[in-house]
Structure 1
Amino acid sequence: MNMTLFPDVVVNGETISSAAVAAEAQNHTGPRDKPGIAWRKAAQALAIRALLLQEAKRRGLSPDPLELGPNRFETEDEALIRALLDEALAIAPVTEAAVRAEWEKAPDRYRSAPLWDVSHILCACDPRDEAGRAQAEARARALLARLDGDAKGFAAAARESDCGSKAAGGHLGQLGPGDTVPEFEAALRTLAEGAITPAPVLSRHGWHIIRLNAIAPGQVLPYHAVRSRIAQALEKAAWASASRDFVETLARGARITGASLAPI
């Protein structure tokens, strides 16, 4: 990206260089044909960060970095921003009535995990090996073409699988969320009962042909089982809203060039 096309960001006289924005832009997404969107997101993020740090220093706050994990601590800037938000934001406690009202909007949103009864055929390869990956894919596509959607022939075709499940006709049993690799699960979620993936699915194990034999949808959970989850979500939403309002208040009294705080 040509940084000369984008100005430095200046927040209340503090300059954030184009190089700093370019480095931050790598943490933001945007369409490949519109690199300026990632740049604008990065400029906005750094402008907000500068506003918050300036306000924290104006209030005379001192950083007290927390330990986030083994040998992992907040940076001083992160600690300052946390201290500022803790001081500046007054979040009303979430009431029981609010939690119950949120639940009553659509109780069937809150379900136990589904169970999928699954079979598959694996054409194993190391995805990093280009030649091996192509060879395994060709084999998987040939098996899939031979099946031609015939679920009854799946168990017979599974004898050619590279997975130990071939002894059971490719049957993996019942799986829940998180029981398999993400690519496999993502494909499962697109299938109707009795359907086979229309194309092989690549994972770190190789190419899979997947059949969803049956699905048991998760059961609707009672209020008491989901109350804490709903309360946490409401608290998080309230915190996010109050944070946005606080930043907007700071921005109204600030002089900012080279960045916009409007939604992107």
Structure 2
Amino acid sequence: MLALTLGSCGEKPAGPAQALAIINGKPLTVSEFDLRWSQLPEYARKKYPGVEGRKKFLDELIDREVLLQEAKKRGIDRDRALLERLERFKERSLLDVLMREEVDSRVTVSPQEMKAYHEANPGSFIAPDEFRASHILVKTEAEAIDLKKRLAGGEDFASLARKASVDATTKSKGGDLGIVKKGQTVPEFEKALLTLKPGEVSEPVATQFGYHLIKLVERTTGPVLSYEDAKEQIKEQVLIEKKQKRFKELIAALRANAKLRVLDTPIPDSNPRAASPAADAR
């Protein structure tokens, strides 16, 4: 066990129940150290190389125990709101394990199912639209507004980009961004781009880089994907649908076997008013 190496080479190996530290009378044992160590992801263990690293990890466990004891001393572990949150977390964890055991682990997708799904839904898998766009990037909104007015007055977009844009990558190309796909630009830029028709120029768009005037040159609708190109999407979609079906079957079976009665008690208002003497009086 890793914790056994904490001592010097000449010392007798420690047993699992032997304490590495005692904090206010509570022992921190070798077995607890080993358990905490085993729960670390591989990348996290790299932070604690060699004997010195394990001593550092022990120090952190001691710090954690000191803090926990202080929290309990203050009665935080008996706080009703905290206990309710812990109970909800426990319930979610139990449901997650049940779903993994009864749904996720029981659902697979075969190549035959994937091909059949693609044949039944031939137009459902389409490549994203592509956009040919240009932009002018400036530092201030006032500059962008001025350039927008000049464009409205008939000046050429590419010429203004060469003169005024601060984007060194596209400036010499008249602002040409080439082909742009969804997800390749910051959200503010993409949102504005999607509203444009070919030939239109946006109002000034603020992003982390400055202010943009965006021109949509051309929009190409994405082609329908072949089976080979859409395989991963198909697999994911079939998996989702099969899991949903399995989940419904599980619920139906559990309800059928449950001793269940739905009573006539009125369902509470979704936005109940706080009880008050005045409300009770009415």
TM-score, normalising length from structure 1?
0.54
Indicate yes or no: 2:220 matched with 1:205. no
TM-score, normalising length from structure 2?
0.51
Deviation at 1:121, TM superposition (A): 0.9
* 1:237 corresponds to: 241
Residues 75-117 of structure 1: per-residue CA shift (max 9 Å, x gap): 7665432221233348554455653443235433323344322
Listed as ranges, the matches of 1:85-234 within 5 Å are 85-89=99-103, 91=106, 93-94=108-109, 98-124=113-139, 136-148=140-152, 153-158=156-161, 159-164=163-168, 165-197=170-202, 199-234=203-238
Tell me the secondary structure at the aligned position of residue 145 of structure 1.
Answer: helix
Question: Alignment partner for residue 84 of structure 1, among 82, 93, 98?
Answer: 98
* Preserved contact between residue 149 and residue 196 of structure 1 (Cα < 8 Å): no
Q: Which moved more, 1:226-235 or 1:80-89?
A: 80-89
* Preserved contact between residue 140 and residue 200 of structure 1 (Cα < 8 Å): yes
Residues 99 and 259 (structure 1 numbering): CA distance in 2 closer, same or farther, change over 3 Å?
Answer: farther
Listed as ranges, the matches of 1:5-84 within 5 Å are 79-84=93-98
Cα separation, 1, equivalents of 2:177 and 2:147:
19
Residues 193 and 233 (structure 1 numbering): CA distance in 2 closer, same or farther, change over 3 Å?
Answer: same
Tell me the secondary structure at the aligned position of residue 109 of structure 1.
Answer: coil
Residues 34-72 of structure 1: per-residue CA shift (max 9 Å, x gap): xxxxxxxxxxxxxxxxxxxxxxxxxxxxxxxx989955x
Residue 123 of structure 2 aligns with an amino acid whose one-letter code is D
CA RMSD of aligned residues (A): 3.8
Gaps of 5+ in 1: 1-65, 125-135
Q: Which of the pair has more CA radius of gyration?
A: 2
Residue 229 of structure 1 aligns with an amino acid whose one-letter code is Q
Cα separation, 2, equivalents of 1:81 and 1:107:
36
Task: Flag the structure with more relative contact order, 1 or 2, with Cα contacts below 8 A and sequence separation at least 6.
Answer: 1
Aligned residues: 180
Deviation at 1:254, TM superposition (A): 8.3
Question: What percentage of residue pairs aligned between the two structures are identical?
Answer: 29
Cα separation, 2, equivalents of 1:149 and 1:103:
51
Deviation at 1:186, TM superposition (A): 2.4
Tell me the secondary structure at the aligned position of residue 202 of structure 1.
Answer: strand
